[in-house]
Structure 1
Amino acid sequence: MPEYLKTADEFRKALKDAGNKWVVVDFTASWCPPCKMIAPIFETLSKEFTEIKFYKVDVDENNETAEDQGIQAMPTFKFYQNEKAMKTMKGADEKQLKSNLEECK
């Protein structure tokens, strides 16, 4: 199950610790219906794409990170490598999410 990054420090550490591995972060909110819909899919994909690190950030609980990353819509998925955001995907589109993950292999 993807771990929640609860603080900006946890977020920075997760990116740093991943090194050159891909990291995908689901910026989500507990009150967001599309976020709830995609959550089990995100979890399933985390088991399928084991070479990629999967995390979640609740934008209400960790708004410092959400603001720092320019999150304006939920869900937003950001893909990082070497601590840099390489791509961003907005919305709960399972096919698009899977396609982005395939490109990170």
Structure 2
Amino acid sequence: MNTRLLRPALRTFRGIPPTATRNTTRQFTASSPKMAIFNITSYEQFKETVQKNPVVILDAFATWCGPCRAIAPQMANWSENPEFKDKTLFAKFDVDQLPDLAQELGIRAMPTFFFFENGEKVDEFVGANPARVLNLIKKYNPEEAAVSAAAPAADNESKNESETENTEEPKSA
């Protein structure tokens, strides 16, 4: 057999380490996707979501929007944060897929974040400023509200107890 025809092929394989030419298989495992941020796909679903959840943070985004893509991972992190998880529903919708909802909410730029409490819009913020969005998330976090509402009540109870202690008549010995 004439090896002259094989010489160019042999020269190319000599420079490749033997591990690169081996048939290797990669192991892939299936993992359940995190549903940290609820994707709203219809106007009816939006209404139902806002009505059924005490606090909803809604991200109005567009797939072509660079700042929307930049802040999306941070929103996912916040939605998985134990401080907010199971207390606040993080939701999003694509303004190009739901233009009627975008028009009703009065969206002028993306990303726009809406904050709903008990079905009512209480705040909105336009822009991809993570610090500002996080401050608003903390502001409307139900636990934060419960703690701040309980604190004055606890202070009043302790004041009432101290007043009753001072108003008691001293017992004579």
After TM superposition, the score normalised by the length of structure 2 is 0.58
Structure 2 residue 118 is matched with structure 1 residue 82: yes
Q: 1:46 offset after TM fit, Å? A: 0.7
Q: 1:4 offset after TM fit, Å? A: 1.2
Q: 1:10 offset after TM fit, Å? A: 0.6
Q: Deviations over 1:8-60 (max 9, x none)?
A: 10100101111xx2100000000000000000000101111111100001000
Contact 2:113 2:125 in 1 (8 A): yes
Who is 1:22 aligned against? Answer: 55
The count of aligned residue pairs is 103
Structure 2 residue 83 is matched with structure 1 residue 47: no
Tell me, what secondary structure is at the counterpart of 2:123?
Answer: strand
Contact 2:59 2:113 in 1 (8 A): yes
Where has structure 1 moved over 6 Å in runs of 4 or more? none
Unaligned stretches of 5+ in structure 2? 1-35, 142-173
Contact 2:52 2:119 in 1 (8 A): no
Task: Provide the rounded CA distance (Å) in 1 between the counterparts of 2:80 and 2:132.
Answer: 17
Q: Whose RCO is larger (CA < 8 A, sep 6+)?
A: 1
Tell me, what secondary structure is at the counterpart of 1:27?
Answer: strand
Tell me, what secondary structure is at the counterpart of 1:57?
Answer: strand
Task: Provide the rounded CA distance (Å) in 2 between the counterparts of 1:55 and 1:85.
Answer: 14
After TM superposition, the score normalised by the length of structure 1 is 0.95
Root-mean-square deviation (CA), in Å?
0.7
Task: Provide the rounded CA distance (Å) in 2 between the counterparts of 1:63 and 1:4.
Answer: 15
Task: Provide the rounded CA distance (Å) in 1 between the counterparts of 2:99 and 2:45.
Answer: 13
Task: Provide the rounded CA distance (Å) in 2 between the counterparts of 1:65 and 1:84.
Answer: 15
> Mapping of 1:1-105 within 5 angstroms?
1-18=36-53, 21-48=54-81, 49-50=84-85, 51-105=87-141
Q: Which protein has the bigger strand share?
A: 1
Task: Provide the rounded CA distance (Å) in 1 between the counterparts of 2:140 and 2:105.
Answer: 20
Q: Which protein has the bigger helix share?
A: 2
